[in-house]
Structure 1
Amino acid sequence: MVAVYAAVPKKATNVSLAESLLAEAKELGINVSQAAEAGLAKAVSDARAEAWLVENREAIESSNAYVEKHGLPLAKYRMF
């Protein structure tokens, strides 16, 4: 997902990290900025997914209840 952000302008920011973790990352040749961006992109994606589930919980529950009561629409045409 970081590739999506690769071509956009960057903004410098300060981040506090555990010294031992930062030292190990540098020792292993990990680009800290890229790793932080990837982690932040995942956190944003996860938060958006969770918010979507919360916002759509009622519709999901309604759909699930319908399927439990009536079965899947067009189920007779399923090949599996």
Structure 2
Amino acid sequence: MREQTRKSTSMTLDAKVLDEARALGINLSQAAESGLVAAIRAERARIWKQENAGAIADYNAFLDRDGPPLSGFRKF
């Protein structure tokens, strides 16, 4: 297994949210890390879509014009 490097950080959170999370026994570090991983994934997807919007539009235009590749060989 690959060893992960952990780094301490400081955050400012809404006091009510923090109190409720602690009362519910939520691991703050794990919750914050999970949220950051999700935000990173979403932002990478948004950037990829933006960077590839032209190619996606070209491919969609191709499909609209010519249909799916090899569609003439379908048996259904």
Q: Structure 2 length as normaliser, TM-score?
A: 0.89
Task: For 1:29 and 1:79, locate their aligned partners in 2 and report how far apart those are by CA, in whole Å.
Answer: 57
- Residue 27 of structure 2 is aligned to residue 31 of structure 1: yes
Equivalent position of 2:49 in the other structure: 53
- Matched letter for residue 61 of structure 1: A
Distance 1:78 1:14, change over 3 A: farther
Instruction: Give the paired residue count.
Output: 75
1:77 shift after superposition? 4.1
- Matched letter for residue 22 of structure 1: L
Q: Structure 1 length as normaliser, TM-score?
A: 0.85
RMSD: 1.7
Task: For 2:14 and 2:47, locate their aligned partners in 1 and report how far apart those are by CA, in whole Å.
Answer: 30
Superposed, which structure 2 residues align to 1:1-80 within 5 Å? Answer: 7-78=3-74
* Structure number with higher relative contact order (C-alpha < 8 Å, ≥ 6 residues apart): 1
Distance 1:78 1:45, change over 3 A: farther
1:76 shift after superposition? 3.6
Unaligned regions of 5+ residues in structure 1, if any? 1-6
Task: For 1:20 and 1:39, locate their aligned partners in 2 and report how far apart those are by CA, in whole Å.
Answer: 18
1:33 shift after superposition? 0.5
After the TM superposition, which segments of 4 or more aligned residues of structure 1 sit over 3 Å from their partners? 76-80
